[in-house]
Amino acid sequence: MGYGASTAYQDLVNVEQTFYDSGYQDGFAHGRIHGLIEGRALGREKGFEMWEELGYYEGFALMWKAILANEAKQDERALHNIKHLLDLISQFPRVNPSAAEASDLDIPKLFRQIRSRYKVLCATLGTKPSVRAGGQAPSPERNDDLGGPHSESNPPAGRSSVWRVDNTAQPPRNSALSF
């Protein structure tokens, strides 16, 4: 037997590994493409949720800043917390920081600081903080006016609903339209 026959037998012995390696390479390339697509979609979704929450905090702070500006008595503590919250929000990146740029910005840490400052501001103003992303249903264990078991559709005993639904409405008697 010559050199060619040995190589042919070697190829037969390694046929399973060859197919495995080929399948692995194909699967890796396919997974990379789909991973990038899914990662981009997930990043867009989570980024939207974060900015929706930040927009709520900024609108809340700006509204209370305007309210406090119109009052005769100035609440310095509340104004300081509003200013600090708006400063933290302004530090949040407006564009996606690229991996090429060296950045020591810790986005989750900054987001936690913003949430904490919002809660401090709510405590200063005497309001209940509402921390939930838009589109989320309120949790069933919440018992406040933000949609828990005591929301408009299920008010507690002795308390009337804010938005009354009148189910006794009569349909129009004359259904013929005249123009």
Q: Give CA–CA dist 68/76, Å, rounded.
A: 9
Q: Are 160 and 153 in contact (CB under 8 A)?
A: no
Q: Give CA–CA dist 147/136, Å, rounded.
A: 11
Q: What is the structure's pLDDT at 8?
A: 72
Q: What is the structure's pLDDT at 93?
A: 85
State the DSSP string of 59-122: HHHHHHHHHHHHSSS--HHHHHHHHHHHHHHHHS-SS---SSS-----HHHHHHHHHHHHHHHH
pTM of the entire predicted model:
0.59
Least confident of 26-30, 84-88, 132-136, 150-154: 150-154
Ramachandran bin of 93, using left for φ above 0, alpha for ψ from -120 to 50, beta for the remaining angles: beta
Q: What is the structure's pLDDT at 14?
A: 84
Q: What is the structure's pLDDT at 57?
A: 95
Owner of token pair 């005591």: 150
Tell me the per-residue pLDDT of 146-160, one tens digit each, with 9 for 90 and over.
Answer: 444 444 445 455 555
Tell me the per-residue pLDDT of 117-134, one tens digit each, with 9 for 90 and over.
Answer: 999 999 999 988 886 655
Nearest to 56 by CA among 126, 1, 157, 134: 134
The mean pLDDT value for 3-31 works out to: 82
Q: Are 83 and 141 in contact (CB under 8 A)?
A: no
Q: What is the structure's pLDDT at 79?
A: 93
